[in-house]
């Protein structure tokens, strides 16, 4: 069996933590910051985590 290649698009978007969770960036951070409140902008800076429903799909793209 050949090795499973890592999906490079997924590798650039997700990082695996030490406990095995998948970190991701949050959406809505591209533009229109004048309309967003300070609390929303502050929360968007923090990393999010991939939900359990999507984790299986991302794990298939990033085998190791």
Tally of structural domains, the chain: 1
Q: Considering the domain boundaries, does residue 1 fall inside one?
A: no
**CATH number of 39's domain:** 4.10.410.60
Walk along the chain (64 residues) in steps of 10 and give the mean pLDDT of each run: 92 95 96 97 96 94 86
In a domain, 3, yes or no: no
Contact 57, 24 (CB under 8 A): no
Containing domain of residue 28, as a range?
8-61
Beta bridge pairs of residue 24: 14, 48
Predicted pLDDT at 5: 93
This prediction's pTM: 0.81
Per-residue confidence (pLDDT) for residue 35, from 0 to 100: 97
Side-chain-facing half-sphere of 23: CA atoms under 13 Å:
9
């Amino acid at each position: 069996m050949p090795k499973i290649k890592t999906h490079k698009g997924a590798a650039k978007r997700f990082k695996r933590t030490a406990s095995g969770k998948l970190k991701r960036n949050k959406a809505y951070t591209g533009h229109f910051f004048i309309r967003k409140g300070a609390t929303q902008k502050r929360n968007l800076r923090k990393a999010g985590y991939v939900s359990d429903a999507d984790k299986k799909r991302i794990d298939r793209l990033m085998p190791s």
